[in-house]
Amino acid sequence: MSAAAGRNALLDELRALMAAHSPPLHALVVPSDDAHQSEYVAERDKRLQFISGFTGIARSAGLALITMKEALLWTDGRYFLQAEKQLSDHWELMCMGEDPPVEVWIADNLSDEAVIGINPWCISVDTAQRYEHAFSKKHQTLFQLSSDLVDEVWKDRPLANTQPVVHPVEFAGCSVTGKLKELRKKLLHEKARGIIIAALDEVAWLYNIRGNDVHYSPVVHSYSIVTLHSAFFYVDNRKVSVEVQSYMSENGIDIRDYNMVQSDVSLLASGQLKGSAVNGSSHEGNGMNDNSKILIDNSCCLALYSKLDEDQVLILQSPVALSKAVKNPVELDGLRKAHIRDGVAVVQYLAWLDNQMQENYGASGYFSGAKGSQKKEHVEVKLTEVSVSDKLEGFRAAKEYFKGPSFPMISAVGPNAAILHYSPEASSCAELDTDKIYLFDTGAQYLDGTTDITRTVHFGKPSEHEKSCYTAVLKGHIALDTAVFPNGTTGHALDILARTPLWKSGLDYRHGTSHGVGSYLTVHEGPHQISFRPSARNVPLQASMTVTDEPGYYEDGSFGIRLENVLIVQDANTKFNFGDKGYLAFEHITWAPYQTKLIDATLLAPAEIEWVNTYHSDCRRILQPYLNEQEKEWLRKATEPITVSC
Q: Give the integer Cα–Cα distance in Å for 434 and 459.
A: 5
What is the percent of the chain where pLDDT is above 70?
95
Domain assignment present for 159: no
pLDDT tens per residue, range 392-404: 999 999 999 999 9
**Is 400 found in the same domain as 334?**
yes
> Any alpha helices (H) in 110-260, and if so which ranges?
125-135, 149-153, 169-172, 176-189, 200-207, 242-250
Are the C-beta atoms of residues 617 and 639 closer than 8 Å to each other? yes
CA Rg value for the chain:
26
What DSSP character marks residue 624?
G
Per-residue confidence (pLDDT) for residue 638, from 0 to 100: 98
Is residue 490 over pLDDT 50?
A: yes
Per-residue confidence (pLDDT) for residue 4, from 0 to 100: 67
Per-residue confidence (pLDDT) for residue 26, from 0 to 100: 98
Domain assignment present for 390: yes
**Is 626 found in the same domain as 521?**
yes
Q: How many domains does the chain have?
A: 3
- Kindly report the average pLDDT of the chain as a whole number: 93
Domain assignment present for 645: no
Dihedral of CA 306/121/88/557: which sign? Answer: positive
3-state secondary structure labels for all residues of 358-376: HHHHCCCCCCCCCCCCCCC
Per-residue confidence (pLDDT) for residue 498, from 0 to 100: 98
What DSSP character marks residue 225?
E
Domain assignment present for 646: no
Per-residue confidence (pLDDT) for residue 287, from 0 to 100: 46
**Is 604 found in the same domain as 506?**
yes
Q: Give the integer Cα–Cα distance in Å for 10 and 588.
A: 48
Per-residue confidence (pLDDT) for residue 160, from 0 to 100: 82
Which residues partner with 143 through β-bridges? 117
The least confident of 59-63, 189-193, 385-389, 521-525 is: 59-63
> Buried b / exposed e across 205-228, counting CB within 10 Å, b at 16+?
bbbbbbbbbbebbbbbbbbbbbbb
Helix (H, G, I), strand (E, B), or coil: what is residue 252? coil
Is residue 186 over pLDDT 60?
A: yes
Is residue 507 over pLDDT 60?
A: yes
Are the C-beta atoms of residues 469 and 417 closer than 8 Å to each other? no
| Interval 455-472 mean pLDDT | 98
Q: Give the integer Cα–Cα distance in Å for 133 and 103.
A: 9
Is residue 376 over pLDDT 80?
A: no
| Interval 105-131 mean pLDDT | 96
> Which of 110, 131, 153 is a domain's end point?
153
**Is 135 found in the same domain as 25?**
yes
Per-residue confidence (pLDDT) for residue 284, from 0 to 100: 45
Per-residue confidence (pLDDT) for residue 373, from 0 to 100: 54
Per-residue confidence (pLDDT) for residue 7, from 0 to 100: 76
Per-residue confidence (pLDDT) for residue 124, from 0 to 100: 94
The least confident of 35-49, 50-64, 475-489, 554-568 is: 50-64
CA angle 405, 546, 333 (to 5 degrees): 80
**Is 77 found in the same domain as 172?**
no
Domain assignment present for 363: yes
CATH code (residue 74): 3.40.350.10
**Is 352 found in the same domain as 315?**
no
Q: Give the integer Cα–Cα distance in Å for 497 and 480.
A: 6
Are the C-beta atoms of residues 546 and 569 closer than 8 Å to each other? yes
Are the C-beta atoms of residues 582 and 574 closer than 8 Å to each other? no
Per-residue confidence (pLDDT) for residue 285, from 0 to 100: 46
Per-residue confidence (pLDDT) for residue 281, from 0 to 100: 41
**Is 252 found in the same domain as 145?**
no
**Is 416 found in the same domain as 320?**
no
Q: Give the integer Cα–Cα distance in Å for 634 and 641.
A: 14
Determine the structural domain holding residue 294 and report its residue range: 165-276+290-325
pLDDT tier for residue 60 given thresholds of 50, 70 and 90:
low
pLDDT tier for residue 205 given thresholds of 50, 70 and 90:
very high
Q: Which amino acid is at 613?
A: N
Domain assignment present for 281: no
Q: Give the integer Cα–Cα distance in Å for 456 and 437.
A: 7
Q: Are strands 410-413 and 449-450 parallel, antiparallel or unpaired?
A: unpaired
Is residue 280 over pLDDT 50?
A: no
Reported as half-sphere exposure (CB side, CA atoms, 13 A), residue 308 has a value of 27
Is residue 106 over pLDDT 60?
A: yes
**Is 384 found in the same domain as 271?**
no
Q: Give the integer Cα–Cα distance in Å for 61 and 54.
A: 9
Residues in the chain: 646
Are the C-beta atoms of residues 452 and 523 closer than 8 Å to each other? yes
Q: Are strands 71-75 and 92-95 parallel, antiparallel or unpaired?
A: parallel
**Is 180 found in the same domain as 129?**
no
Helices then strands, counting H and E runs in the chain, come out as 19, 28
Are the C-beta atoms of residues 294 and 306 closer than 8 Å to each other? no
Q: Give the integer Cα–Cα distance in Å for 311 and 341.
A: 51
Domain assignment present for 158: no
CA distances from 87 to 90, 248, 264, 597 (A): 8, 46, 41, 38
Which has more confidence, 78 or 241?
A: 241
Domain assignment present for 282: no
Residues 6+ apart with CB under 8 A from 509: 499, 502, 551, 552, 553, 554
Is residue 101 over pLDDT 80?
A: yes
CA distances from 611 to 295, 475, 479, 563 (A): 46, 10, 10, 15
Distance of CA 127 to the CA centre of its chain: 19
CATH code (residue 615): 3.90.230.10
Q: Give the integer Cα–Cα distance in Å for 80 and 57.
A: 13
| Interval 455-468 mean pLDDT | 98
Helix (H, G, I), strand (E, B), or coil: what is residue 520? coil
Are the C-beta atoms of residues 571 and 543 closer than 8 Å to each other? yes
Per-residue confidence (pLDDT) for residue 76, from 0 to 100: 82
Q: Give the integer Cα–Cα distance in Å for 164 and 244.
A: 7
Q: Give the integer Cα–Cα distance in Å for 221 and 238.
A: 12
**Is 496 found in the same domain as 362?**
yes
pLDDT tens per residue, range 286-330: 445 555 899 999 889 999 999 999 999 999 999 999 999 999 999
What DSSP character marks residue 174?
S
What is the percent of the chain where pLDDT is above 90?
86
Q: Dihedrals φ, ψ of 484, to 5°?
A: -125, 130
Per-residue confidence (pLDDT) for residue 286, from 0 to 100: 44
Are the C-beta atoms of residues 519 and 219 closer than 8 Å to each other? no
> Which of 153, 176, 197 is a domain's end point?
153
CA angle 554, 560, 566 (to 5 degrees): 100
Q: Dihedrals φ, ψ of 94, to 5°?
A: -115, 125
The least confident of 36-50, 273-287, 346-360, 605-619 is: 273-287
| Interval 338-352 mean pLDDT | 98
pLDDT tens per residue, range 1-41: 566 677 788 999 999 999 999 999 999 999 999 999 998 89
Per-residue confidence (pLDDT) for residue 374, from 0 to 100: 60
**Is 565 found in the same domain as 536?**
yes
Q: What is the pTM of this model?
A: 0.93
Angle between helices 200-207 and 176-189 (to 10 degrees): 120
| Interval 403-418 mean pLDDT | 96
Q: Which among 388, 387, 401, 380 has a CA at the least distance from the CA of 351?
A: 388
